[in-house]
Amino acid sequence: MAGPVLASLNILDSVQFYEDKLGFRRTFCDEGYGIVVRNGIPIHFWHCDDKIFPENTSCYIYLNKGVDELFEEYEPHGVIHPNSTLEDHPWGMREFAILDNFGNLIRFGQNL
């Protein structure tokens, strides 16, 4: 299964954030690379030293079901993007967006 590869200023901090706030499980972590997985969806991290990379990176994770429940799970953790809410869009998706601890934007969506 393919998954996004996101920039991280600190791999350990990214992996810990995804475990604590987003419910992912660590499968690999060292100073230069990390991998977390949730429900069969992997996210990889590569180390960078410039915040411009994570602050200008995004990915989209398609869900078969459960976008409403995921939004409810994430909302109390304060990770929902400040300009996002759970909503239906004219392009046929119900979606919301989060920001991780270094600014990567992740949009979660499912077909209407």
Percentage of the chain modeled with pLDDT above 70: 98
Mean pLDDT of 57-63: 94
pLDDT band of 52, cuts 50, 70, 90? very high
CATH 3.30.420.40 for domain 5-111, yes or no, is no
CB 70 within 8 A of CB 108: yes
The pLDDT score that the predictor gives to residue 3 is 83
31-43 in b/e burial notation, b at 16+ Cβ within 10 A?
eeebbbbeeebbb
Among residues of the chain, what percentage have pLDDT more than 90?
96
pLDDT at residue 1 tops 70: no
Per residue in 17-41, pLDDT (tens digit) is 999 999 999 999 998 999 999 999 9
User: What pLDDT does residue 106 have?
Assistant: 97
Parse the chain into domains and list their residue ranges: 5-111
Question: From CA 5, how far away is CA 98, in angstroms rounded?
Answer: 16
Predicted local confidence at residue 94, as pLDDT: 98
